[in-house]
Amino acid sequence: MKYSSKANLTAYAFLTPAIALLLVFSFWPVGFGSYIAFTKYNLIDAPQWVGLDNFRELLDDELFLLSLKNSAIYLLVVPIIQVFAILLAVLVNNNLPGIKYFRAAYYLPVVTTVSVIGVIWNFMYTEDGALNGILRWLHIVNEPIGFLNDDRIALLAVMFVTIWRGLGWYMVLYLAGLQAISQDVYEAATLDGANAWQKFWRITVPLLMPTILLCSIMSVLAAVKAFEEVQIMTQGGPYQSTFTALYYAYEFGMKSLNFGRALAASFIVSLFCMALAWLNFRYLTPKTK
Amino acid sequence: MTDITTLPASAATPATRSKTFNYQRWLNRSLHYLVLSALAVITVYPFWWTLVTAVSTAGKVYAFPPALLPTEPGLQNFLEVFQTINVWAFYKNSILISGATVVGTLIICSLAAYPIARMRFAGRNFVFGAIVATMILPSEVNFLINFITVSKLGLTDTISGVVLPNLAGAVGIFLMKQAFEAVPQDLIDAAKVDGANEWEVFWKIMLPLAKPALGALAILTLVSAWNQYIWPSIVMTSVENFPLSVGVSYLKGAFSFKTRLVAAGAVLTVLPILIMFLFTQRYFLRGFEGAVK
């Protein structure tokens, strides 16, 4: 098809600012970043090509392997967030009096900056903090737990914060999905004598499948790339037990200015992300298209 | 909900049956509220604890059972924070960064969305495909290279350095594209018959009709710009340029063991955005209609 050159000119005049910004800040990082992953680069001297050296160093680095393992463990937040977000969405998908205050309450962490969330959860997690107080009061533990000081549980404590701050976000997405389901289907099922449990499993879950798929992908990618919580709450500690793959990249890039190593690490994270997104689409896509 | 009222009378639950089930319904509803409240406690309590700690001026910080209401409430902690650290500068920086991000995003996204929605030109599908592709690209790792770019451009420690990478977002372009697509073609044709050019159509017809979408985009952008933490913490190197989100972790370091002051700083940081959220909830909680798909 042919378009007049004037039409093309006008269209691209409108598009230029966005295209320029996307090229510089979205596409350039991918291209240049992939190149830097194969070089030594410290921001001052020109990048020096080293082939696969960065990747070899990564695979020899126990800290990186631990970071990868932690990122894999981090994936456990995905099913937990999704199940509780669906539960929340079902609970607030009605017009009960005051329901919008509950929705707002669940959404509160989503509109709070991660740095404040880190501060708040540091308060909650300290040895004489509220959480230990409750656990001791219920006689679940006798000694206070060092949630962020104990290298065996610090990662789980950080993961819990990720779940806590993510629930409201997915709840809203599921709520939109639930509201798209026609009430007629439920009416018909009620007339056929279906109970709430059957309606949930036979109607809600199948019809919600596209939303579940979308949310799972988003959640998986977010979990693989999680590092903000680590940066704000533990800086990778105690004893480097909370390093995640991207936190490793952050640490080596921003703190040691070892950009080759950092970008090689984030290159691997990106590959994982693409592979996981592909698996998700391939095996979780509902058969009804 | 309207579906129920349109059902034939015979299909509705007979009055007698619903009466016998009233007790059951009451029980169900109480249980429902109980679960809702328990879950709300989990999400709200940490905030409440922080607020109570910030406005209390006496008593043990980490008492058990934790105080549910402030002891000797007062604003001393806030005053002390303001006296020790230039919190006004943090506010000013947050406002400048968020304001510039909102204005820039609205301009750049609506400019880009208009030709994609309503014009026919060479490479249209390619450009739109590329914009959508940025959503799939692993953007969380961009900060490493963007930091290099921003320092080469001499924009470290500047507001432009924080703002520029966030202006052209695929979500914003997508949102505006959908709003522009909903404008009736007749209006555009009529304007063009009257001699309007594309710019005038965009400025005088498209933008005024897309006000709801612009409003929604402005609010969503404002919240994410106000809340962003990692990127401004990388770009801004001097304390007087920190926005609140970065300032609060600086505060945490500066006051380390003065828990009440750190709590006060946290309250000062989230208060503006929480107030805004309470007034504009519907933009967040109704599901972002088209933007979700």
**Which single residue is written with the structure tokens 């005088």?**
B204
Is residue B58 a part of any domain in this protein?
yes
Say whether A49 sits in a helix, a strand or coil.
strand
Q: A205-224 and A154-179 helices cross at what angle (nearest 10)? A: 140
A206 CB neighbour count, 10 Å cutoff: 13
**Residues 129-158 in B contacting A (C-alpha not used; CB under 8 Å):** 130-131, 134, 136-149, 151
Tokens of B241: 């340029």
Out of B111, B139, B202, the one facing A26 most closely (by C-beta) is B139
Out of A108, A172, A250, the one facing B43 most closely (by C-beta) is A108
What pLDDT does A224 receive?
A: 87
Q: A136 to chain B: which residues are within 8 Å by CB?
A: 64
My answer on whether B25 and B154 are in the same domain is no
pLDDT of residue A118 exceeding 70: yes
Chain B contact present for A118, CB below 8 A: yes
Q: How far apart are the first and last CA of chain B?
A: 24
Chain B contact present for A10, CB below 8 A: yes
What pLDDT does A286 receive?
A: 54
pLDDT of residue A251 exceeding 70: yes
The mean pLDDT value for B104-123 works out to 94
Tell me how far the alpha carbon of residue A72 is from its chain's centroid: 12
The mean pLDDT value for B81-101 works out to 94
Choice between A136 and A283, residue whose per-residue pLDDT is larger: A136
pLDDT of residue B3 exceeding 50: no
Domain regions of chain A by residue span: 1-36, 52-284
Chain A contact present for B259, CB below 8 A: yes
CB-based contact A126 B202, cutoff 8 Å: no
The mean pLDDT value for B246-275 works out to 89
Rg (CA), chain B: 26
Nearest Cα neighbor of B53 from B248, B265, B282 is B265
Residues ≥6 apart with Cβ < 8 Å to B241: B93, B157, B158, B159
**How confident is residue A2, by pLDDT bands cut at 50, 70 and 90?**
low
The mean pLDDT value for B201-206 works out to 93
What are φ and ψ of residue A48, in 5° steps? -120, 120
What pLDDT does B21 receive?
A: 61
Out of A8, A25, A121, the one facing B122 most closely (by C-beta) is A8
Chain B contact present for A183, CB below 8 A: yes
What pLDDT does B20 receive?
A: 58
Is residue B203 a part of any domain in this protein?
yes
Out of B111, B137, B252, the one facing A30 most closely (by C-beta) is B137
Q: Average pLDDT, whole number, for chain B?
A: 86
Is residue B90 a part of any domain in this protein?
yes
CB-based contact A263 B145, cutoff 8 Å: yes
Choice between A277 and A196, residue whose per-residue pLDDT is larger: A196
Region of poorest pLDDT, from A136-140, B41-45, B193-197, B289-293: B289-293
**Which domain does B61 fall in, by range?**
19-74
Q: If 0-12 CB within 10 Å is exposed, 13-18 middle and 19+ buried, where does residue A72 land?
A: middle
Search chain B and give the residue with CA nearest A263: B144
Domain CATH number, residue B171: 1.10.3720.10
My answer on whether B121 and B146 are in the same domain is yes
d(CA B192, CA B178): 21
**How confident is residue B283, by pLDDT bands cut at 50, 70 and 90?**
confident
Q: B111 to chain A: which residues are within 8 Å by CB?
A: 14-15, 17-18
Out of A22, A119, A133, the one facing B134 most closely (by C-beta) is A22
Choice between B12 and A20, residue whose per-residue pLDDT is larger: A20
The mean pLDDT value for A256-268 works out to 92
Chain B contact present for A192, CB below 8 A: no
Residue ending a domain, choose from B43, B74, B105? B74
**H helices of chain A, where?**
5-22, 28-36, 53-60, 62-74, 77-92, 99-107, 114-125, 130-137, 154-179, 183-191, 196-199, 205-224, 228-233, 245-250, 259-284
My answer on whether B67 and B95 are in the same domain is no
- The secondary structure of residue A193, as a DSSP letter, is T
pTM above 0.90, yes or no: no
A180 CB neighbour count, 10 Å cutoff: 14
pLDDT of residue B293 exceeding 80: no
What pLDDT does B279 receive?
A: 87
Instruction: List, for residues A53-98, the tens digit of each pLDDT value.
Output: 999 999 999 999 999 999 999 999 999 999 999 999 999 998 889 9
Q: A53-60 and A62-74 helices cross at what angle (nearest 10)? A: 80
The mean pLDDT value for B126-138 works out to 84
**Residues 213-242 in A contacting B (C-alpha not used; CB under 8 Å):** 214, 221, 225, 227-228, 231-232
My answer on whether B59 and B191 are in the same domain is no
Out of B120, B281, B292, the one facing A100 most closely (by C-beta) is B281
Q: B230 to chain A: which residues are within 8 Å by CB?
A: 114, 228, 231, 250
Q: Average pLDDT, whole number, for chain A?
A: 89
Region of poorest pLDDT, from A190-194, B58-62, B162-166, B260-264: B58-62
My answer on whether B215 and B106 are in the same domain is yes
My answer on whether B92 and B155 are in the same domain is yes
Is residue B212 a part of any domain in this protein?
yes
Out of B11, B122, B138, the one facing A225 most closely (by C-beta) is B138
Residue B64 φ/ψ region, left for φ over 0, alpha for ψ in the -120 to 50 degree band, beta for the rest: beta
**How confident is residue B292, by pLDDT bands cut at 50, 70 and 90?**
very low
My answer on whether B48 and B105 are in the same domain is no
Mutate which of B176, B249, B285 to disrupt the A interface (most A C-beta within 10 Å)? Answer: B285
d(CA B275, CA B269): 11
Tell me how far the alpha carbon of residue B231 is from its chain's centroid: 16
My answer on whether B54 and B129 are in the same domain is no
Search chain B and give the residue with CA nearest A266: B141
Out of B40, B45, B252, the one facing A119 most closely (by C-beta) is B252
What ipTM, to 2 d.p.? Answer: 0.89
Residue type, B288: F
**How confident is residue A285, by pLDDT bands cut at 50, 70 and 90?**
low
- The secondary structure of residue A153, as a DSSP letter, is T
My answer on whether B26 and B99 are in the same domain is no
- Looking at domain A52-284, its CATH superfamily turns out to be MetI-like (1.10.3720.10)
Residues ≥6 apart with Cβ < 8 Å to B96: B159
Tokens of A26: 């979205």
Q: Please, how many CA atoms are within 13 Å of residue A20, restricted to the half-sphere of its CB? A: 9
The mean pLDDT value for B131-135 works out to 85
CB-based contact A14 B112, cutoff 8 Å: yes
The mean pLDDT value for B42-70 works out to 86
What pLDDT does A217 receive?
A: 85
My answer on whether B44 and B173 are in the same domain is no
Percentage, residues of chain B above pLDDT 90: 61
Minimal Cα–Cα distance from B238 to chain A, Å? 16
Chain B contact present for A110, CB below 8 A: yes
User: In sequence order, what are the beta bridge partners of A39?
Assistant: A49
Per the structure, how many domains does chain B have? 2
Residues ≥6 apart with Cβ < 8 Å to B63: none
Chains A and B form CB pairs within 8 A to the count of: 273
My answer on whether B62 and B100 are in the same domain is no
Minimal Cα–Cα distance from A93 to chain B, Å? 11
My answer on whether B100 and B239 are in the same domain is yes
d(CA A214, CA A92): 20
